[in-house]
Every structure is written in C-alpha cells, then in structure tokens.
Amino acid sequence: MNRLHLFSTTIAALLLGAFPGIARAADPKLSILWVDVEGGAATLIVTPAGESVLIDSGSAGGRDPGRIQAAARAAGLQKIDYFVLTHFHTDHFGGIPEVAQLLPVGVVYDKGLPTAAPDGNPNDTRFPLLIKPYREMKVAERRQIHAGDTLPLRQVEQTPKLTLRCLGANQQFIAAPTGASLVPAADCANARTKGKDTSDNANSLVLLLEYGDFRLFIAGDLTWDVEARLACPVNLVGPVDVYQVTHHGLAASNNPLLLRALQPAVAIMSNGTQKGCEPETCATLSALPGLQARYQIHRNLRADVQNNTAPEYIANREKNCAGNAIQLTVAPDSHTYEVSIPATGHHRQFTTQKSIPH
Ligand SMILES: [Zn+2]
C-alpha cells in the first residue's frame, strides 16, 4: 500500500466512522441524512425504492464532496439519482461538480441558471468563475424546476405515497391548496418586515417531502419577507413534522409568521461553528409551542454559547470534528420517525402530527 492509498483509505475509514449504522438502500424505508458541510447545506434522501435525492451539496474543495460520497456509500448508494439545488450560492452548489466526479449524478434540478450575477450585482466578476464547474459538470440531464413540479420518484407497492414537491421557486409559489387555512389578517398586517433582499437567497426553492403522514420542509436560504408570503394571507404549506432550519439558522430568515404556520415538532439546523444559530432564530424556535426537539449539526462556538440546544442534540461538539451526520428514518407505516446521531448513539422517536389523534 503506497502512502497515498494509505491516506485515502484512512480518510475513507474516518469518514465512514461518521455514519455508523446508516440504513442501506435495500431497506424499504425512507431515510434522510444531514451531512455536515460546516455551515453549508447537504441533505441526502434515500427513498424506500432505493433512489437518492441530494438537496444542495456544501462547498467545493474536497471536504464536503468527500463527506457526501462517504454518506452515499454508507447508505449503499452507487449514484445520486437526483440533485436539487435550492439557490446559486457556493455553500449550496459548490460541492456538486466534485461529487459528480466521485459518483454518477443523474438529473439536476435547479431554478434556472442565472444569466447575470444572481445577487443583483452586474459588476460581480466572481460568479461566472464560481459557477463554471457547475455549468460544465457531467450529469445525465438538467431540468429547470418550477412551483408545483414534483420529482418522478419511484413508489414501492404497499408503502405510503412518497412525493417531493416544489412549492416555490424564484419567489413564485403554488396556488393555495383547497382547504388551506388562513392566518389571521391582523397577524399578517402587524408582522415585522426586514426589507427587500436582493440576494439569491430570496429566490430559494421551497421543497416539501411527504411520505404518508410524514412531512419535511426545506427552503434553502429563503429570507424573511419572502417567507411571509408562504404564510400570508393563506397558509400554503400547512403543518409539518420536521423543519430544516432555513439559512443555517441566520436571523435574516426564519420568520416567526411562517414558523407558526408550519408548527414543526422537530427542527434540524445545518449550521457551522461560527455561522448561523443566531439568537433571534433560537428564540423563535424555542417559543414554538409544538417544538419537541431542536437539533444542530454543530455546536455554536461563538460567545453566545447559551443559544445552543442541549448537547445530546448536537452532532459535532468540537471545532475539529469528525463530520458527524444527523439521520432521520421514517417507519414504513409513516406514523413514527426516529432522529438519530449515529456517531454519538443518540436517538429519539417522534409520532407524525397526522397520526396524533386531535
Ligand atoms: Zn447558505
């Protein structure tokens, strides 16, 4: 074994150590893995049919693509069937060109490649260089995704219906579903605004994963005033079980108006040691009456340590971390789901909201 091989084998072993006990794709259940990409986002969904969907891909530079590859391998995947990009920022699209060199990537969905700089700055000379690997990567197919579109995921007979649907893209949202509830007009009228966001965060995809009774909400880095439009005047999404905390927990996002409309039981935050997990967001989450658990991919190591969740709900507690993932597995009947941190042994079971008698 030469030194390079020894090095790569050691790295692979270390990375696999971050995902012990992860469900193999052959298991007919839904599993979701939040890969630690140090303040970016990368959510890997493995369907009961064994298909995979990666939503966002962390940053370029080896570390994040390597962790995504290790997570995919630990889940028994040979390829990424679908990659969905929420918006054109490097902590979300940066990793995928390298991932595509490590394992085959099928269909790429995004909200359309920006013709100019995505953040409304025509003088931005960096973006064309940053996006070049994404434009040029080899994938099977590329499609633009719009509000209302659904991914063509394979269903497994005699298992709950599985859908991954786009509820919003480029600030265009689905029409109000029949029976959607209204948020009190006074709440909408009196809600605080934070001003127009001209960055691409405001254009993030809004995604809803449903598996029978189970519902997971992911909205990339969608920002405050745009979030309000998902709740006012009509609650477009309705209650969810799990909320992937938007924008790494930054206070430019996570509008309480939307959070109260979503009523999540579990929040999972893809933050970094110094990024996200901001006091205002933590206060909003803590004030939600139905929230039972708040997970963080990282301990917040800034001075405001009091904003951290309880230690057992944190996947990585040290700065020099092992890149531990957070895993969620939905039971085949979709009435319960378990959230775990395989590397620490933490696991906790929750009942889906639709299964709780009201
Ligand atoms: Zn981000």
Domain boundaries, the chain: 3-355
Q: What is the CA(322)–ligand 1 centre distance, in A?
A: 21
| Strand ranges for 222-270 from DSSP E | 242-244, 266-269
68 CA from centroid of ligand 1 (Å): 17
pLDDT of 17: 55
Q: What is the pLDDT of residues 187-240, one digit of tens each?
A: 999 999 999 999 999 999 999 999 999 999 999 999 999 999 999 999 999 999
Q: Which CATH superfamily is domain 3-355 in?
A: Ribonuclease Z/Hydroxyacylglutathione hydrolase-like (3.60.15.10)
Report whether pLDDT(16) > 80: no
> Which of the residue ranges 125-134, 205-214, 234-243, 285-294 would you say has the lowest mean pLDDT?
125-134
User: Could you tell me the distance, in angstroms and rounded to a whole number, from the CA of residue 198 to the centre of ligand 1?
Assistant: 15
Residues with CB in 5 Å of ion ligand 1? 91, 221
Distance 353 CA to ligand 1 centre (A): 28
Mean pLDDT of the chain: 92
- Percent of the chain past pLDDT 70, that is, above it, reads 92
Residue recorded with tokens 């959230």? 339
Question: Per-residue pLDDT averaged across 266-272, rounded?
Answer: 97
**pLDDT band of 19, cuts 50, 70, 90:** low
**C-alpha 219 to ligand 1 mean position (Å):** 11
Q: Which CA distances in Å does 235 have to 167, 259, 267, 289?
A: 12, 11, 19, 18
The Cα–Cα gap between 138 and 321 comes to 31
| Average pLDDT of the residues in 151-163 | 95
C-alpha 247 – ligand 1 centre gap (Å)? 5
Report pTM: 0.92
Length of the chain counted residue by residue: 358
Confidence of residue 349 (pLDDT cuts 50, 70, 90): very high
Q: What are 143's strand-pairing partners?
A: 109
